[in-house]
Amino acid sequence: MIDHDDEPFEQFTVSTVNADKKPLLTEAQLRQRIMHRAIGYLSRREYSQQELKRKLTHAFADATFSHAEPENTLELDDLIESVLEYLAKNNWQSDTRFADNISKIKGERYGSARVKQTLNQKGLAREIIDEKINELAETELQRGFEVWQKKFGQLPQNSAEYAKQSRFMAYRGFSFDIIKKILKGNVECFE
């Protein structure tokens, strides 16, 4: 009977290694790894280009690669940018699609101000943000009433209740004009 524990494992060697004992990758290999990682991220959910760049930069911060042609050297940021441009050009990553998702999901529970803040934090272009906020503004009163109805369901009976409901709605990102209309009972058309 042969005992396999006594047999030595086959040793794999890498011809070029840096000081940290990590294999050096070529630009093409690193670009391919960045592309695979980005597609993996995008297969799980939508990302804005800024978010995706931040995740890829963090994931490959310690990556080392050798330059095939020393006169055409690219830095890691340049490789990530080229991958992001490719993904955007081929519609695998879209800031507009990302903004649509955020405004749809957040718009159900929050007012335009809160959605705008979220879109700004994600690093989207001003034009995309303005377009989505204009779309949400058309239904702000109805959405605000639905949020208020679900949480409270009845008009405030005193100033303390009014303040409480007003603070809740303001925290959710609804404008004071909308809050005032809802709390004064000027939205009978939605009941």
Q: 62-119: per-residue pLDDT in tens? A: 877 665 554 445 688 899 999 999 999 999 999 999 999 999 999 999 999 999 999 9
Task: Tell me: pLDDT of 30 over 70.
Answer: yes
Residue 5 confidence (pLDDT): 46
Each residue of 131-159: b (16+ CB within 10 Å) or e?
ebbeebeeebbebbbebbeeebeeebeee
Whether residue 101 contacts residue 61, with contact meaning beta carbons closer than 8 Å, is answered with: no
Higher pLDDT, 144 or 73: 144
Number of other residues whose CB lies within 10 A of the CB of residue 73:
12
Instruction: Dig out the tokens for 174 from the structure.
Output: 């609804």
Whether residue 120 contacts residue 158, with contact meaning beta carbons closer than 8 Å, is answered with: no
